[in-house]
Each structure stands twice: as C-alpha cells, then as structure tokens.
Chains A and B, each alone.
Chain A
Amino acid sequence: MMTRTLVALVMLAALGGCSAGHQLAPPPGHLMRTTDGQWDVIVSSSSDTWPLNEYFDLEIRVIRGPSAPVEVRADAGMPAHRHGMNVQVDTVRTTSDIWLTQDMLLHMPGDWVLTIDVIDTSGVLHRATMPIVVH
C-alpha cells in the first residue's frame, strides 16, 4: 500500500504539468487511472488516513483525459464481503476539473476497493479502481 502511494506521488510530480487550466501543483493524493488508460484522476481525502467508520470527503481532480467529463462518481465496497458502503453519496463538480464527494463512510475494517467512474460526453463509463486498507 505504501509503495503504491509512493509510486503515485512520484507519478504526480511527472504529471504535474498535464493539468490543463491549473498552474498550481496538484495536492497530495492518490493517482488513479481508468482501466482503458484514457483518464487520470487524483483522489484526495479530507482525512490523513482512510478512516474507519467515520465520514470523510473525497476531492477528485481530473488531470488527464480526451475531453471534459460529463460526470464523475465515487463509490467503495468490500468485494470479499460482497457489500458496499451503507451510504449513498453524490459527487458534484466544484470547478471545471475538480469534483467533490461528501460523506463517504467505510464502516468496517479490512480490504476495500475505491471506485472512480468518469462518464464522457458519449455516455461511456470509464472506471478506475484502487485497493485501500482500512484499519
């Protein structure tokens, strides 16, 4: 997990100049790439860690893609347990390329998968996933 995060941060440095419309360096976060490789997003949590059973917010910054996304969604689940979160979250655009998901809740310790979906102008859903461990 730590290794993955470090790799992500190193990649962030390399990708810093790719963020169209943003001169500032992107905040620390986790780089996620959609499975088709078309989109990159940086996900930052309002919490220092992935908090156990405490609400937190996600900032999702779209830093690379073929066009502006129409919609971004965030979700999380525990595949081994076959359940998701017990909350329904909405992701809203706050600026042209930043989206905010409020009140995520990972209610159990263990292995979760964070999912970010990017919906393009054609309605195609592009999915990025990241395993996270909640202690």
Chain B
Amino acid sequence: MLYLFILPAVLMAPTLTEDQIRTARSMSPVPPPPSSPTNAMADDPAAALLGQSLFFEPGISGKGTTSCSSCHQPTLAFSDGRHVSTGAGVGIRNAPTLLGAAHQRWFFWDGRADSLWMQATHPIEDPLEMNAARGDVVQFIAHTPQLRRRYESLFGPIPELGALPAGLTPESEQWNSLTSTQQQSVNEIFVNLCKCLAAYERQLQPGDSDFDRWVASFESPDAGPALSDSAIRGFQLFTGDAGCWQCHFGPLLSDREFHDLGLPAPDGSPSTDPGRGEGYATLRASSFRADGPWSDAPESRAARRAAAARIGPEHWGAFRTPSLRNVALTAPYMHDGRFASIAEVLEFYNTLETQARRHHHAEDVLQPLNLNAAQLADLEAFLRSLSGAPPATHLLGPLQDTPPTAIPGDQIRHSTPPAATKGAPIHE
C-alpha cells in the first residue's frame, strides 16, 4: 500500500522552484570574457593569430620539443589528462583547462599570476615546463620569418640585438653584460609575445552544453533537449543541500578565489604545499603583475584591484576554485590530479574522511555531504551535463601558414602580407 504513495513521486520529473530557476539562469550562458585593460592586445585579432602560432610552437621551448599545447591539448579540452604536467621535467600541479580561462581573476592553482598574459610568462621559462631562456625565445622570433613578420606588423621592427648569448635570462650572469636598452628590448618582446598568447587564449570559450540548452529551454522550449531527471536532481543538490554552489557558482561554476580543502599529502599526512600562501608572494615579486611596469594599464581599476589581494593565514594550503565547465573532459582532478574520476572527487566531499590539515587557521566551509549512491550519481550526471562543444575548429591547431618550427632563411610562403594582417578575420 505504501508503494502507491511513493511510486508516483519517484516517477515524477523533478520540478524547479523559482529560486532554482533563478540560480540556473545565473549559471548560463557563459558571457564573453571580461575586458583585460592591462593587455592592450587582448582583443586584437592579429595578436591572437600570432598568439595561436606561438601556442603550438615548440620552437619557443628550451629543447624545441614542448609547446603550450603539450599540456593544454585541444583534444582534451585544453588540459593534458595527466596527474601533473610533464614538460622539461615533472611538475607538481595538474594542468587546468584553458576553456574559459579568460574569465578567471587569478591564474595557476596558487594564483601566482593576475592576468592571462602574465600567466603565459611562467611556463615558457619554468625549468619543469618549457624551460626556455628569454633571450633564446626572442632570438627564435627574430630568426623565424613568419613569426617575425607577424610580430613586427603588430609592434614595429624588432631592434637589432646582435648575437645574444644562449641561455639568457634576467637571472643569468650574461644578463648584466647587456646594455639596459638591450635588456629592455628583450623583456618587451617577451612580454608582447605573452600578450599575444593571451589574446589567442581569450578566444577559447566553453561551448554550449546540455545544461545551457536546458536553461535556454526555460524561455524557449524548443531550444534543445532537456536534462535527464537525474541531472536535474543533481543540479538541485548542487545548488541546494550539497552546498557545492557556495564555491562553484556563476557561469564558470567558480568563485575564482582560493579555498583550503584539507587535501592530504600522498601518505595521508597534512599537505606541505603552501598553495596560495606561496603564489601570492610569487605574484607580488614579479614585475609582470597588473600594476607593474609591463602592464598596459598599471593605474587602472583592474590593476588596483589585483594589487589589493589580501593574504591571510587561511590562505596557506588554499588553491583556486576550478571552473566546472567541461569537467567531465578534464580528468584527473584537484590541483595535483589525485582523483582519477568525478566519482572519486565526490567521494572525498561526501565523507571528508581523508581530510587532513596542518594548521588551525583554515576556513570552515566544508561539511561531509553524506549523500547516498543515487544522489552521488545525480550529482555526477549534472556535472557531466556541463560538457560543451569545443571551440571553432580553426582555433584547435597551428595556423595553416605557420611552420612547426624555425626554418633557416626566409623559405616560407606567406598567404597574407604583414601589412594586411592587422584586423584580418580570425580564420585564415
């Protein structure tokens, strides 16, 4: 007899409250990226083309074998599928997706960059990533005709720098043998290249997902297929009792800030990774920050806001909240890629049994979810509904007219004269 009352409730599609509808609308669609005043080239199509050339160019790495796309692979939603990234060495952090990266307030898991262009300056020179020397990158551009033409069409002639010593970085002894003008030129070219990389990456937007089509169907029932009942229940849990929405909200499903989850070290003891506690110091020590000398708007409100970041005891061991857009495509998970599947992530949050903290300053946001298996499956169904179409095909690989690496001499046939490059359509 009891079943007569329960069965209809089980079979009924979940219904949404006004609050839930309002919340769903606040999460979709993904808007265009916010402006980037510290990068004058951020929305320049020609800069984006140069950035795209550089993104897939291994020639700007120390050994000529690694490019940005090595760890941010278009076929893996611009992540790499590894626990931690491997370039010139083995890193300590998982490569996040670049889809939607331009929406972030901070970059890297520890927020050691405050702009997309500043982010690009790190991996090129990181000994564990591309391990390039700044002077070598500049020389590569200067001696690769296609890249040089693109660069000079944007920024003017590359000054005559002479034969820069190999391995030239600001930290190297040879750096002091350069004149201040040479140092300035090397830095300026390097920064300009990174601003072009950012211009390309700004175009890597998350595509519409089943979730977006579901939200659009609130206004227009023909907009697309509805979510499964399981995914809708998962959405209700996500934005309700499970509390995921406290940190994962808005179109990116991220507060874009930092939290300490108490993830333990591999042996179960409290982690020793300072996360934001170190990232903040790295950011402030860099001349590439938004309010620094290489910013195109160091006095802007955006730069002042970045400079006003506060670091407190609770930020030790904290990492940036990742976007959950395309989360099903970007395994493994967490800052060190410790969880192979969404189910493993949910299991951590469900019990918090493995949580371990080194200090008493941590914020107190997480509580065990205590969900049953069916509820966990619903949450996962919702998360899987956030997978969107990839960016346009022409953004997913090197430009057709760009060689994979430098070719001695000017043997490259150019499809577009440099003078006509600026303002050209993105698609070549």
Contact = CB atoms under 8 A, between A and B. Distances in A.
Given A83-B314, A87-B308, A108 B364 contact: no
B151 interface: no
B250 A53 contact: yes
B312 interface: yes
A52 interface: yes
A86 B305 contact: no
Looking at A80, A83, A89, A105, which has the most chain B CB atoms within 10 Å of its CB?
A83
Interface string A97-135: 000000101011110000000000000000000000000
A47 interface: no
Contacts of A55: 305
Contacts of A88: 308-310
Nearest to A85: B310
Contacts of A103: 301, 304-305, 308
B202 interface: no
Contacts of A82: 314, 362-364
A87 B245 contact: no
A26 interface: no
Interface in B238-296: 245-247, 249-250, 255-258
Contacts of B304: 103
Contact of A81 (B256, B258, B364): B364
A16 interface: no
Nearest to A79: B364
Contacts of A85: 310
A65 interface: no
Nearest to B239: A109
B355 to A, nearest CB: 15
A82 B359 CA distance: 13
Interface string A27-69: 0000000000000000000000000110100000000000000
B363 A83 contact: yes
Looking at B255, B258, B315, B362, which has the most chain A CB atoms within 10 Å of its CB?
B255
Contacts of B305: 55, 87, 103, 105
B246 A87 contact: no
B310 A108 contact: no
Nearest to B258: A86
B10 interface: no
Contacts of A89: 308
A107 B247 CA distance: 9
A100 to B, nearest CB: 14
A108 B246 contact: yes
B55 to A, nearest CB: 29
Contacts of B256: 53, 107
B310 A80 contact: no
A25 B301 CA distance: 30
The 5 closest A-B pairs by CB, nearest first: A83-B363, A88-B310, A107-B257, A82-B364, A87-B308
Given A81-B363, A87-B309, 20 more contacts: A52-B249, A81-B365, A82-B363, A82-B364, A83-B314, A83-B365, A84-B312, A86-B257, A86-B258, A86-B309, A86-B315, A87-B308, A89-B308, A103-B305, A103-B308, A107-B257, A108-B257, A108-B365, A109-B245, A109-B249
Interface of B: 245-247, 249-250, 255-258, 301, 304-305, 308-310, 312, 314-315, 362-365
